[in-house]
Structure 1
Amino acid sequence: MTEAQLKLANVNINVVVGQSVRALIQDVNLEIQPGEFVTVLGTNGAGKSTLFNAITGDLPLASGTVTLAGQDISTERPERRARLIARVFQDPKMGTAPRMSVAENLALASRRGQRLTLASRKLNSQLAHFKELAAQTGNGLEDALNKPTEQLSGGQRQALSLLMATMRNPELLLLDEHTAALDPHTSAAIMTLTDKIVQQNHLTCLMITHQLADALKYGNRMIILDAGRIVADYDAEAKAGLQEADLLQYFN
């Protein structure tokens, strides 16, 4: 179980456009408690992925601080933050090594945050565990352990990305529209798997989605961004009383 609190204090991110400066994130103050599953909504360009990039260090802060699990990570490089943070992207091709087998990808993920050495991977001794892990996806991934990842379907590859991101229980899980590239049936299956993993492992999670139904169904908190600011923050009780019609006002 992770016990990670995430705190963003007075976070600002700017970009230079010509001779002017445009604010991408403006005075964001956000505190996520351990075990919260937060859905993140907003129009295109509202700052959702930019917020994630601020957390992972892929974009430098103009000002403010990011604290995770009691550590100020504001100035840490992205590869250092990756010890604590796992991210699943929209594109199923990201997050996996295409020419490595499913089992090899899982073996690599099992050593996330550890110092890599030339020691034997002991892959065969882990196959039974990997097969059990992959079986929970319900899409036949357990029968493809020796198949190169590039030969998987989009749904299988995204399921693998999710397993890889969560198998070592990261302090923070970021889901960046991770079902957007999938068909409705596969998307629903990945969301069911996502919820199961997050709940069973008590993960602290933020999930960007454009699917209002998913934003309402999953998670115990919801935030809405607009023009780089958090314009709404619903706790579990308030979120439970929302309907899709209530959210449409933010997308006009």
Structure 2
Amino acid sequence: MTDQLTLEHVAVNVAVETHVKPLLQAIDLRLAPGDYVCVLGTNGAGKSTLFNAITGDIPLAAGKITLAGQEISHEKPEKRARLIARVFQDPKMGTAPRMTVAENLALASRRGQRLTLASRQLRQQLPAFAQLAAQTGNGLEKALDKPTEQLSGGQRQALSLLMATLKRPELLLLDEHTAALDPKTSEAIMAVTDKLVTQEQLTCMMITHHLEDALKYGNRLIILSAGKIVADYDTKARQQLTAADLLTYFG
């Protein structure tokens, strides 16, 4: 089976006064198509830096990144966005606030396409958008004509998820996407996330600080520390882990 995502000796540095500090150190990682990987690590371990290296928001100091058979190591973030979708911790970051829910979904449906002055045919798409939004279970389908800035945090994050997955990405990055939500809403968003990722068999990496989620979701778990991958558990190995086992990496 061909790898979907490959990182070979990826390194990222930052200049600190008179010396260079490594943020990622020779990361080697291979994801098969459909891998659903939880990413754990302490603050400063390099989790978001890893995502930023993949999306091109931080340049590589060394190494090579290949996604869906294409080397993207030096492509600009805008070009990588045709292949990669990302949902951030802040629900406000994934949507256009003054556009309606339907308008946001219409925009997401054209991701990777050249934007033109052609009609959006928004009205014709409303039934499909309503059916799509109903999957979230939080009333989003009743808010298609509402500006996104008027949604609750949970609804807005659910919309971000739908937008990220509406046009199947080659890689979905979830960057602590439930961290800003209350426990009940977080649980609901994780249920939606799991449904979308597993049904569509998306290749996904999800950063989380919730140990229970790291043990419950996905088929693989990697742990970062000081810019290195210090553990990589497949499904069978992860099933033997407990939250107490994971806590040892946070000491």
Q: TM-score, normalised by structure 1?
A: 0.98
Q: Which residue of 2 aligns with 1:211?
A: 210
Asked whether 1:189 is paired with 2:179, we answer no
Alpha-carbon distance in structure 1 between the residues aligned to 2:117 and 2:135: 31
- From the superposition, tell whether residues 4 and 126 of structure 1 become closer, same or farther in structure 2 (CA, over 3 Å): farther
In structure 2, what is the Cα distance between the partners aligned to 1:168 and 1:213?
29
User: Helix, strand or coil: the match of 1:75?
Assistant: coil
Partner of 1:222: 221
- Which residue in 2 is equivalent to 1:28? 27
Identify the residue that residue 174 of structure 1 maps to in structure 2.
173
Match of 1:243 in 2: 242
Query: In 2, Cα distance between the equivalents of 1:193 and 1:57?
Result: 27
The structure 1 segments of at least 4 consecutive aligned residues displaced by more than 4 Å after TM superposition are: none
Change (3 A) 1:194 1:4: farther
SS at structure 2 position matched to 1:139: coil
How much has 1:4 moved relative to structure 2?
A: 6.5
Matched, 1:83 2:82: yes
How many residues were matched structurally?
250
Q: What code does the residue aligned with 2:37 have?
A: V
CA distance in 2, matches of 1:95, 1:158: 8
Q: Which residue of 2 aligns with 1:40?
A: 39
C-alpha separation in 2, matches of 1:193 and 1:13 = 33
Q: Which runs of 5+ in 2 are unaligned?
A: none
**Alpha-carbon distance between aligned partners in 1 of 2:228 and 2:96, rounded to the nearest angstrom:** 35
- Report percent identity of matched pairs: 73
Paired with 2:136 and 2:58, the residues of 1 have a C-alpha distance of 33
Residue in structure 2 matched with residue 144 of structure 1 by the alignment:
143
Matched residue, 1:98: 97
Structure 1 residue 71 and structure 2 residue 58: aligned?
no
Query: Does the CA-based 8 Å contact 1:4-1:171 persist in structure 2?
Result: no
Q: Which residue of 1 aligns with 2:128?
A: 129
Matched position secondary structure for 1:13: strand
The CA deviation string for residues 91-129 of structure 1, in whole angstroms up to 9 with x for no partner, is 000010000000000000000001110000000000000
Superposed CA offset, 1:126-154 (max 9, x none): 00000000001000000000000000000
The one-letter code sitting in structure 2 at the alignment partner of 1:211 is H
Q: What is the CA–CA distance in structure 2 between the aligned matches of 1:4 and 1:243, rounded to whole Å?
A: 29
Q: Which amino acid aligns with 2:138?
A: N
Residue matched to 1:164: 163
Letter in 1 for 2:68: A
2:8 is matched with 9
SS in 2 for 1:112: coil
- Residue identity matched to 1:64: G
TM-score (structure 2 length as normaliser): 0.99
Query: What one-letter code is carried by the residue in structure 1 that aligns with 2:198?
Result: Q
Deviation at 1:240, TM superposition (A): 1.2
Amino acid across the alignment from 1:78: P
1-structure distance, mates of 2:248, 2:210: 15
SS in 2 for 1:93: helix
2:59 match: 60
